[in-house]
Structure 1
Amino acid sequence: MSPPSDHSAGDNKSGPRARSCWAVTRSVWFAMFMREAIGRTMTDRMGWFWMIAEPALLLLVMISIRSFIRGDNLIVNAPFIPWMIVGMMGFFLVREGMTQGLGAINAIKALFAYRQVHPIDGVLMRNVLDGLIRTVIFLLFMVGGLLLGTDYRPDNGFQAIGGWLSLWLFGMGLGLVTSVIGTLVPEVGKIIRLLSMPLLILSGVIMPLNHLPHYLLEYLMLNPIVHGLEYIRHGFFEGYQVVHGTSLIYFWGWILSALALGLLMHVRFKERLKSQ
């Protein structure tokens, strides 16, 4: 058989080119994002309701308690209810990032038949979607406050947005870590879910930490969520006195460490996560 002619070789070169790795990744992320979005918003008719009702019900409980504790007298240069709303929404952003990572890999097991899909893709897209949903809910709370005569638009918009994005990235880092641990050791997932309520109290979400004794405060300030919430609160209320020892550098150290650890764990255990 004679070798292929130059003409036929030229025809092969002019055929469709293979897509780049980045183009394939974008397509995978878009498909998984749409899959997750439809599943979260369309499958459960009450999904949107509970996303808004959870913080609203907790807020109503706290407002009821406020009449007994006189919460407005505990916070300097910040109204109690907006202060608490900002803290709750920021905390839920971190908490959802951490807990949503637990089931993210198992939810896309069937998609591992496609070699382009990796375990980390499901975790990232679930976290991105949850961040967008939480942002919309936060904006709805702000609009609702304006309609009720309570204006808590941020005094420093750039700091408020930076604080919100920082909390979101921290939730993503925790989600990357918990997604690996929760898949390889399912029992750990139950413990992580149980931590949400103690963290709500220990992070200064519903009560200010400034009035606690110093020997307790120095231990509570090891919790990085406290630093993130205080930073975003200061962005909303410019005269607000943050808890002593608040450090954005410390908080970002935790963010980068969580992201790096999560990425390394996904690289190290990728094959085990697929076959688990």
Structure 2
Amino acid sequence: MSSFSAQIRGWKTVIFALFLREWQSRFNDKLGLSWAFIEPALFILVLSFVRGKVSGGDVHSIPIFIFMLIGMIGIQSFLSSLNSVSTAIKKNKPLYAFRQVHPISAVITSAFLEFSIKTVVIVLLSLAVYLMEMPYSFDNPVLLIGVYLLLWIFSTSIALIFSIGAAYVPEIDKIKNFISRPMFFISCVFFSLQDIPTAYWHYFNWNPVVHFIELARYACFTSYGKAGVSLEYAAMCSLVSLFFSLSIYHLTWKTILSR
């Protein structure tokens, strides 16, 4: 039992050291963490202005700024985790010479860093909305937190699969970039699923990110509704992708160390 506890403590120490290293490398410029808040805030303002010119007023009972904020946070959480975590194994390869450092430690560290950054950004954006006295609502905070955690699990799992694939075939990063580019346009960021005729919903709601974003909007404003999306589907995609990615890692991690 003491040996197991020592292993856990050693693993926590490794992850903490990797976390500090990753943090310093990510925010070594003058803007630092503030840019992680400024960039999405500016983007949301621009998109809200464009969406306001197109439709005007609220979007299915949600104020335009809040509508765009939820969509942007959702898609950026997915894409930033995908891009960052998928390079974690390759980026930390020199550290695997130390037997305490395993590829999964680098993946967990990168995923937790992205989660921490996005959580801080969400808090700052929520504070900005409150200070600007914009109408807002958190009708179902438990659902909102659950959806965010499922999104984080899903994005980390998909990123782990790409990270393992890149260890064998480096060109897989190009496939990842090709797949991720249209995600912004097919994930209901700028528009609602309810804006689309129901006959065409199946072209969009196969995408789990659509369910995460639309359910987050519903969790904030239950008047928005959740037509066309399902928490069960979102949870299933997250858990299946987590099981699949960890299974692949379990089968390949020793080979990854030798590549």
Give yes or no for TM over 0.5: yes
125-134 vs 61-70, which moves further: 61-70
Q: Does residue 23 in structure 1 map to residue 9 in structure 2? A: yes
5+ residue gaps, structure 1, are 1-15
1:1-276 → structure 2 map (5 Å cutoff): 20-41=6-27, 43-72=28-57, 75-242=59-226, 244-276=227-259
Q: Give the Å deviation of 1:58.
A: 2.1
Q: Cα RMSD over matched residues?
A: 2.0
Count of residues paired in the alignment: 258
Letter in 1 for 2:229: T
- Per-residue CA deviations over 1:18-58 (Å, capped at 9, x if unaligned) read 963222222222221222122222x2334424322332232
Question: Is the 1:36–1:126 Cα contact (8 Å) retained in structure 2?
Answer: yes
Rounded to whole Å, the distance in 2 between the matches of 1:201 and 1:18 is 47
Letter in structure 1 aligned against 2:189: V
Q: Could you report, residue by residue, the CA deviation over 1:143-169 in whole angstroms, capped at 9, with x for unpaired residues?
A: 111121214242222122112112111
Q: Are 1:176 and 1:262, in contact at CA under 8 Å, matched by a contact in 2?
A: yes
| Equivalent AA in structure 1 for residue 26 of structure 2 | R
Calculate percent identity across the aligned residue pairs. 31
TM-score, normalization by structure 1: 0.86
247-256 or 193-202: which moved more?
A: 193-202
Contact 2:57 2:63 in 1 (8 A): yes
8 Å Cα contact 1:142/1:153 also seen in 2: no
2:121 aligned partner, one-letter code: I
Checking the alignment, whether the CA contact within 8 Å between 2:193 and 2:228 is kept in structure 1 is no
Separation of aligned partners in 1, 2:61 and 2:240:
33
Q: Deviations over 1:178-223 (max 9, x none)?
A: 2112232221212212333311111101111212133321121100
Deviates more, 1:248-257 or 1:145-154: 145-154
Checking the alignment, whether the CA contact within 8 Å between 1:94 and 1:168 is kept in structure 2 is yes
What is the identity, as a one-letter code, of the residue corresponding to 2:38? A
Q: Partners in 2 of 1:83 and 1:108 — Cα distance?
A: 38
Give the gaps of 5 or more residues in structure 2: none
Larger radius of gyration, structure 1 or 2? Answer: 1
Distance 2:201 2:57 in 1: 21
